[in-house]
Every structure is written in C-alpha cells, then in structure tokens.
Amino acid sequence: MKTWTIKDLAQLLNVSPSTISRALNNHPDISIEMRNRVQQLAEELQFKPNSFAANFRKKQTKLIAIILPKIYHSFIPDVIEGITKRLNSEQFQTLILITEDQLEKEIEAIKQCCDMRIDGILLSVSNQTKDLSHLEICKKMGISIVLFDNILETEEYSTVHIDEIAAAQQCARYLNNQDVQEIIAIYGPAELSISQKRKLGFNSALHPQKKTLEYHANNSQQAYEFADLQIRRNPQISFFGITDEVLHGIIKAIKEHDLSKSCTVIGFSDGLTLPFLHRELRYIFHNGKSIGFTAAEQILKCINEKDSPLMHLEIPVNLC
C-alpha cells in the first residue's frame, strides 16, 4: 500500500504543498471549498500526516522519558498509567527507561535522552544517586526535568511527591495509641529525600516513651535480614517501614517467625498486595496514579512555559 505524502496530494490537486498543509489544518486563509477538496482526498487515500516531521520543524519531538529505578513494584504501573493518561491528551509519547536502582544506568539513560533530543524527563532517582550533577547536560540542552516520588532535595528542578513529613507523623500517632513498647523503624538510603523527611516526620510525632531502633536498608533483602535479627532478639517488637519494598522484607521475616497475628506493622504502601499478606498492616496509601498524573502536568508546564517558576508539589495522603 502506497504511503501518500503532502507533495502527492499537491500534485493530484495541482496546488502547492503549503496549500495542502494549511487546508489539512483548517487554516482561515484557505477557502472552505479547497479545504473540503483536500480533506476529502486525504480521507479517500487514507493519508496520515507525518507528525515526526512536523514536530521536527517545531523543534519538538513530542516525546517524554520516564526514568524509573525499578518496574516490578506494583506501585509503578499506576504511576505510568497516571503519566501517560495526561501526556497522551496532549499528543505526547512516552519512553520508559529502567535504571535497576544503579546510578551508572541512570547516567546512561540521561545521555540517551539527550541524544534523542527529547522534550522532557520525568525522573525517579536511583537509591545510589547522591547528587544531580549528571543532569547538568539536560539543562544546557534545554531539556525540562521534573523529579518525582524518589527525589533529592533540589532548588534546580521541580519535584512531585507525597507530603512525606505529615504522612509519617500519621504513622507515629497511630503507634502512640497502640500498646507497643519497642518500634523498629526501617528507612531507605539515608541520602534520599523520602528517607530524610519520613524519618523527620515519624520522630517528631512519636511519643518519647516509645523506644525506637532505626536502620537504613537499600533493598527488601536488607530489610528482611534486619527485621529477622530484631525479631530473634525480641518477638514483641513492632515495625515502621517507609516503602512497599521495605515492608515486603519486614513481612517476610514476620511470617517466618509465625507472628502474623500479633506483630503490628505500619508504613507506606500502594495497598495492592501487602494488606493481604499481613492482616495487622496499617499503611499510608501511596497513590501512584495521582503522583504520575501530577508529575505529567508539571513536566508539560515546564516544556510549554520555559520561564515558569520551580514547583515543589506535595500530595496529601491518608492512613488506611
């Protein structure tokens, strides 16, 4: 089947290619009669405009990259759905890149985005990311960036995440009202904003009589190993975990020690699987769709309004 071009349509109607282009876009300079002739012919030939070429002329690719540490977390599909729903409404396409929580692969993904001259990047940083110096090349090339969910504190880029401090305070207040004496709080890497803010919020609201032991885990396995060690020391402890990944490790250790009916666990979760694995789990609902949709709106604003001020958006959450 032949692929028709604007030049082909122009030859068939004996007009200029620019006339065809303007007629297809309902330009007021083109008569209604000519617009109807062009659009009828385009429909008969099943003509599809070359959006890539049009975007190239506008110096846009209409492509936004979503860079994620991992994709197998149940939270991530909801994030992607929220992002794509908003971007597709503006005719933007998405490119998904996975870093496997490695800084080296995050740097490679950023370089790939620059090589492709994409319009914007939605970045959830890896657990190995300590600073944002590798994003400087994007700034020089005029590529907009918004950090979301896993972020670092920055005044260089807009950010989207939940209200970490207030959410962790809700968890602490819940434990204040429970008959628990010792709490094991397991955070993510200390450099990450979510670790810092959730730790700050939790400690600021927890009753001083509650004994706590803190630990930073890079992954679910480390969370499991530490939780297992603490249960062996004291089976009467309770847990606070800041992510689904951390909670998976905690709950695995609890189940192995047959404490599912007695061990209190609270933390942050998308609520899809963990509540079915541990009936005593209370959690802050981490709404991926809302975070994704808001992050997409922010990157569109950065792209369309180059001088727009930086925004640090915090999404409110509730305890389930």
Q: For residue 56, is it within any domain?
A: no
**Both 131 and 275 in a single domain?**
no
Q: For residue 306, is it within any domain?
A: yes
Q: What confidence tier does 318 reach under pLDDT thresholds 50, 70, 90?
A: confident
Q: For residue 54, is it within any domain?
A: no
Beta bridge partners of 122: 66, 146
Contact between 198 and 243 under an 8 Å Cβ cutoff? The reply is: no
**Both 151 and 293 in a single domain?**
yes
pLDDT digits (tens, 9 = 90+) for 114-135: 988 899 999 999 989 999 999 9
**In the 3-class helix/strand/coil scheme, how is the chain assigned residue by residue?**
CCCCCHHHHHHHHCCCHHHHHHHHCCCCCCCHHHHHHHHHHHHHCCCCCCHHHHHHHCCCCCEEEEEECCCCCCHHHHHHHHHHHHHHCCCCEEEEEECCCCHHHHHHHHHHHHHCCCCEEEECCCCCCCCCHHHHHHHHHCCEEEEECCCCCCCCCEEEEECHHHHHHHHHHHHHCCCCCEEEEEECCCCCHHHHHHHHHHHHHCCCCCEEEEEECCCHHHHHHHHHHHHHHCCCCEEEECCHHHHHHHHHHHHHCCCCCCCCEEEEECCCCHHHHCCCEEEEECCHHHHHHHHHHHHHHHHHCCCCCCCEEEECCCEC
**Both 181 and 96 in a single domain?**
no
Mean pLDDT, the chain, integer: 90
d(CA 66, CA 121): 6
pLDDT at position 56, please? 47
Tokens of 29: 């300079």
**Both 173 and 276 in a single domain?**
yes
Q: For residue 71, is it within any domain?
A: yes
pLDDT at position 73, please? 66
pLDDT at position 48, please? 72
Contact between 180 and 153 under an 8 Å Cβ cutoff? The reply is: no
CATH number, domain at 119?
Answer: 3.40.50.2300
C-alpha distances (whole Å) from 268 to each of 13, 163, 193, 227 are 63, 12, 15, 17
The range of the structural domain enclosing residue 31 comes to: 6-49
Q: For residue 43, is it within any domain?
A: yes
**Both 205 and 95 in a single domain?**
no
**Percent of the chain at pLDDT exceeding 70:** 95
Q: For residue 320, is it within any domain?
A: no
Contact between 109 and 116 under an 8 Å Cβ cutoff? The reply is: no
pLDDT (mean) for 204-216:
95
pLDDT digits (tens, 9 = 90+) for 33-73: 898 998 888 888 888 766 545 554 455 689 999 999 988 66
Count of domains observed in the chain: 3
Residue 137: is its pLDDT beyond 90? yes
Contact between 185 and 213 under an 8 Å Cβ cutoff? The reply is: yes
Q: For residue 95, is it within any domain?
A: yes
**Both 279 and 310 in a single domain?**
no
**Both 168 and 280 in a single domain?**
yes
**Both 253 and 309 in a single domain?**
no
**Both 169 and 276 in a single domain?**
yes
**Both 228 and 277 in a single domain?**
yes
Q: For residue 171, is it within any domain?
A: yes
d(CA 53, CA 5): 12
**Both 276 and 182 in a single domain?**
yes
**Both 264 and 197 in a single domain?**
yes
Beta pairing, strands 265-269 & 238-241:
parallel
Beta pairing, strands 281-285 & 265-269:
parallel
